[in-house]
Amino acid sequence: MSAELSPGLYIVAGPIGNLSDLSPRAAEILRDADVIAVEDSRVSARLLRHAGSDRPMVPYHDHSDERVRARLVERMAGEAVALLSDAGTPLISDPGYKLVRDARAAGRMVTSLPGPCAAIAAITLSGLPSDRFLFMGFLPSKTKARSDTLDEIRSVRATLVFYESGPRCAAALGDMQAVLGDRPAALCREISKAFEEVLTGSLSELAAACAAREPRGEIVLVVGPPGERPPPEEAEIDAALRDALARLPVSQAAGEVARALGLDRKALYARAMTLRGKA
């Protein structure tokens, strides 16, 4: 067991491109941990050399079975185990949540060392609203599944964040435009690296740009929230009220429609009374 670290799990955020972004505390953990669980030892070996670490690595990735996870949790009883992804913060579109879940269930100490995250960095670069956002990771590769997933979040009033690969960018952006509407967006690639680039524009403009020149490297797509909904027309209001009145008393029906359409409850109550009188 390390003389410096308490036994348990240390979730270590690594750089997303620039090795200098590794924090001094993260480097210290990587030097002092008894073992480091990594996605790909070939990728992590470079970071460990930079940190001055010679600690042993064990593979832990999406294809690891329960026995691998169980052995790591068992080791945490007396050893310091560091979890390191290929880039950025572990668990964010990377394997690891099951390891954290099982470690907590076994009563192991779990702590996180905050650091780089491509999704958060892209939001700060995009110039899009950052007060509320939804991280979606990678969308499905097939058009139908991708469109279905986008349809599920079409009405979410938040900035949307996706990871994507260069060859799929044009198609993904085209599907976003078709399902979400032509919203403002940003394509951020190679964040913190020598060829960092941020393209901004509408979804249709970015789709055209990617079709003309396929982007390379690690890519984050940031899509702005939907615009303000136009006020509902009288026919839509009446239809919603009639539907609610078929199930609820007048007061509750007015409240339900007020919440759904963002309208004044008192005015809807009066209209509901009129509709009920005509029924």
177/211 Cα distance (integer angstroms): 14
CB 275 within 8 A of CB 257: no
pLDDT for position 62: 72
Query: Is 0.85 surpassed by the pTM of this model?
Result: no
pLDDT for position 277: 77
74/265 Cα distance (integer angstroms): 58
- CATH number of the structural domain spanning residue 168: 3.30.950.10
Tokens of 10: 């240390």
Whole-number Cα distances in Å, 175 to 64, 153, 178, 227: 33, 13, 5, 18
pLDDT for position 1: 46
Residues 99 and 33 in one domain: yes
Whether 48 is in a domain gets the answer yes
* Structural domain that includes position 185: 119-223
Interval 113-125: pLDDT, tens:
999 999 999 999 9
pLDDT for position 241: 92
Task: Mark which of 116, 148, 165 sits at the end of a domain.
Answer: 116
Overall residue count recorded for the chain in this entry: 279
pLDDT for position 3: 52
In total, how many domains does the chain have?
3
120/19 Cα distance (integer angstroms): 18
Task: Mark which of 81, 116, 151 sits at the end of a domain.
Answer: 116
pLDDT for position 38: 93
Q: Strand pairing partners for 197?
A: 189
pLDDT for position 8: 97
Residues 214 and 271 in one domain: no
Residues 124 and 107 in one domain: no
CB 233 within 8 A of CB 165: no
Q: Any idea what DSSP says for residue 76?
A: T
State the burial class of residue 73 (Cβ atoms within 10 Å of its Cβ: 0-12, 13-18, 19+).
Answer: buried
pLDDT for position 243: 93
Helix axes 203-212, 169-180, angle to 10 degrees: 160
Residues 151 and 72 in one domain: no
Residues 39 and 109 in one domain: yes
pLDDT for position 102: 94
How many Cβ atoms from other residues are within 10 Å of residue 216's Cβ? 14
DSSP string over 98-157 = HHHHHHHHTT--EEEE----HHHHHHHHH-S--SSEEEEEEPPSSHHHHHHHHHHTTT--
Task: Mark which of 116, 145, 165 sits at the end of a domain.
Answer: 116
Query: Around 135, how many Cα atoms within 13 Å sit in the side-chain half-sphere?
Result: 14
Question: Which residues, given as ranges, of the chain have pLDDT below 50?
Answer: 1-2
